[in-house]
Amino acid sequence: MQKEGAGFAGFAAWLDMSPADGDMFAVPDPDSLIQLPWKPEVGWLASDLYLDGEPIAASPRVALKAQIAKAAKKGYTMKTGVECEYFLVGMALPSRMKRTLNQSPVTTSQH
């Protein structure tokens, strides 16, 4: 799996593919290896997506790498971050939390 990747139906990933397209392969990137902080015995690897042996331009990591290369050619260094999102569904919350969750991030940060 390290060299050939794990195959799956590409159209299920919503990358402008149809069921007629071949399988997509997620090839792990060994440079992305991290240890999960909440489960230290588990390692996690990000993968690049390939179809017919070629990187899929619309896949997030391939698109990001292309933008980083364009920025580097112009003398820029690109920095990125992760935006973690979550939803609370069907959970009883104290009223003060309900007020906070219903505010926009701009409004919330002003308090």
Give the C-alpha separation, 61 to 39, whole Å.
25
Contact 35, 16 (CB under 8 A): no
pLDDT at 51 over 90: no
pLDDT at residue 4 in the model: 74
pLDDT at residue 107 in the model: 43
- Percent helix, strand, coil in the chain (nearest 5)? 30, 20, 50
pLDDT at 56 over 80: yes
Contact 9, 25 (CB under 8 A): no
pLDDT at residue 79 in the model: 84
Give the C-alpha separation, 63 to 15, whole Å.
12
pTM of structure: 0.60
The tens digit of pLDDT for each residue in 81-106 reads 777 676 666 566 666 555 554 555 54
Q: Which of 29, 30, 24, 33 is nearest to 6 (CA)?
A: 24
Domains of the chain and any CATH numbers: 6-109 (3.10.20)
The tens digit of pLDDT for each residue in 3-40 reads 777 777 777 766 777 777 777 888 999 999 999 888 88
Q: Please compute the mean of the pLDDT values over residues 39-49 and round it to a whole number.
A: 90
Q: Please compute the mean of the pLDDT values over residues 58-79 and round it to a whole number.
A: 92
